[in-house]
Amino acid sequence: MGKDTGFIEIEKQAVPRRAVAERVQDFREYDAPFEIPDLRKQAARCMDCGIPFCHTDCPLGNMIPDWNDLVYRGHWREALDMLHSTNNFPEFTGRICPAPCEESCVLNAYYTLDETERGQKKNSVTIEQIEKHIAERGWAEGWIVPHSPTKLTGRSVAVIGSGPAGLAAAQQLRRVGHEVTVFEKDDRPGGLLAYGIPDFKLEKRHVERRTEQLRAEGVVFHTNCEVGHDLSVAELREQFDAILLATGAQFARKLTTEGRDLEGVHDAMNYLPQRNRMVAGADIPEADRIKAQGRTAAILGGGFTAADCLGNLNRQGVNPRIHQFEIVNMQPRPTPVHEEADPDCRANILTERLLGDEQGRVQALQAVRVEWKPIAGRMTMERIPGSEFTIKVDLVLLAMGFIGPVLEGLLHDLGVQISVRGQNELCSPAEMIEQLREREAMYAVHAGKDFMTSEPGVFVAGDAKRGASLVVWAIWEGREAARCIDEYLMGATKLPTTPQAEALA
């Protein structure tokens, strides 16, 4: 695939990015486009490896070497068709997927001479950028158009949630002829694509044009509709032949230290949606705004959500030194937003207490360094005596991860069984709520290999089923759930599957 000797003759080109001084002044995407000749050169680096690990390690089964070769040869339309055969939304994954395909690229594994650089994508093919540009070429040329079903089945499906899993499932189900209605509790579709991921990573016009494509194909969207509140479960079961739960896993891990309820301490998933709404032009009441300009901020957490908070803070004009603490033995994940400031990023930090002033506003954070040791087969955290420290802060954002889907309302009323990570037993949503009062646990909606829950005709996909994960897994789960729903409704299905993803799961 590609040019036979391309990987020898052509060096990997860094992703073009807008200058830091420019991009922190706005919320447009920080990546700049490749020039087409440069992109074709990068595609030419894809070697004819015996086993394309990039393909086998991609949950979607994207045929990466094949469309790299097509791009190298200038066959963009064919590359787009091949890409769409496995991925409904390549412009999403081409922007926000952490690209495990690049980590497993043979060039990355075997042509990086410095052992310390292994796994850092130093020499891999720029798969993600090529994928994004194939999709953008498709939009620019008018190749991406609605594909309405040629025959209707008379069966109806309700999709609850319009994130990547829900959107992928809705498109697959509609294209085989089912009546598909998507219910979204927010005021526009997209889920975390719209109200979680910042515009500087994924501008919302990309999400909007895909939802418009789905509308043109016949998918119906009901926004500002929370099932279980605005629409009862009984009404839902009566109106639809099948239901897909694609609600995500938005129940956040809680900070239990003293001072959690001080003014100025906010969950990331209160902060990020508000920022996205303001970027979109929404009028947020002054009293409700989470203000950052001129403040000294600390972010607790080291994953993608924490990085999204950091990028927003960079653009809001906080004091230059932003503190970012991760409790585990892993440095906060480096991303382009870390280039925009000089954050105080530290691993193995336990926040022990938040201090407030007389008005109940946070003013300081007390923490201690910890180390992790294997004790009785488990990694156990121990404080390091004498390592305590205090920093002044007046804004704290909690980005410590998510433990499962929201249990109250929809899941409670449906009565689907819940599985708890590390336990073999299942429980009801009500029982899970009681368990969480005693201790924190990771949980998800239980489903079989056919994606059906304990309730007949009710399916689940995405983070609600597998826990908080990547957009590429969400799209795969949506596609697989759609295939299973189609088979459930019709007795057979022609929708495609990706067998290797089951082995990766």
Judge whether 135 and 83 are in contact, CB under 8 Å.
Answer: yes
Same domain, 297 and 338: yes
Same domain, 375 and 460: no
Same domain, 97 and 36: yes
* CATH number of the domain encompassing residue 320: 3.50.50.60
For the beta sheet containing 242-245, the strands, ordered from the edge strand earlier in sequence to the opposite edge, are 220-222, 179-183, 156-160, 242-245, 458-460
For residues 331 and 104, give the distance between their C-alpha atoms in angstroms, rounded to a whole number.
Answer: 21
Same domain, 28 and 117: yes
Q: How many CB atoms lie within 10 A of CB 384?
A: 12
For residues 365 and 376, give the distance between their C-alpha atoms in angstroms, rounded to a whole number.
Answer: 32
Residue 257 lies in a domain: no
Same domain, 39 and 128: yes
Same domain, 96 and 161: no
Residue 66 lies in a domain: yes
Same domain, 13 and 126: yes
Query: What's residue 367's pLDDT?
Result: 98
Residue 167 lies in a domain: yes
Same domain, 394 and 407: no
Residue 265 lies in a domain: no
For residues 146 and 462, give the distance between their C-alpha atoms in angstroms, rounded to a whole number.
Answer: 24
Residue 423 lies in a domain: yes
Which residue from 276, 309, 266 is spatially nearest to 195, judged by alpha carbons? 276
Same domain, 396 and 412: no
Among 365, 400, 435, where does a domain finish? 400
Tokens 């073999």 correspond to 424
Instruction: Residue 353: give the domain boundaries.
Output: 287-400
Q: For the chain, how many structural domains are there in total?
A: 3
Same domain, 100 and 188: no
Same domain, 91 and 10: yes
> In which region does residue 449 sit, left (phi positive, over 0), alpha (psi from -120 to 50) or beta (all else)?
alpha
Residue 22 lies in a domain: yes
Residue 267 lies in a domain: no
Q: Residue 88: what are its φ and ψ, rounded to 5°?
A: -70, -30
For the beta sheet containing 426-427, the strands, ordered from the edge strand earlier in sequence to the opposite edge, are 426-427, 418-420, 443-445
Same domain, 444 and 361: no
Q: What is the mean pLDDT of each run of 10 residues along the chain (505 residues)?
A: 82 94 96 95 90 89 94 97 97 94 84 52 90 98 97 98 98 98 97 96 98 98 96 96 97 94 97 97 94 95 95 92 92 86 93 97 98 90 97 97 96 97 91 94 96 98 95 96 98 87 60
Query: What's residue 378's pLDDT?
Result: 87
Which residue from 210, 214, 183 is spatially nearest to 94, judged by alpha carbons? 210
Among 400, 431, 446, where does a domain finish? 400
Residue 105 lies in a domain: yes
For residues 29 and 6, give the distance between their C-alpha atoms in angstroms, rounded to a whole number.
Answer: 30
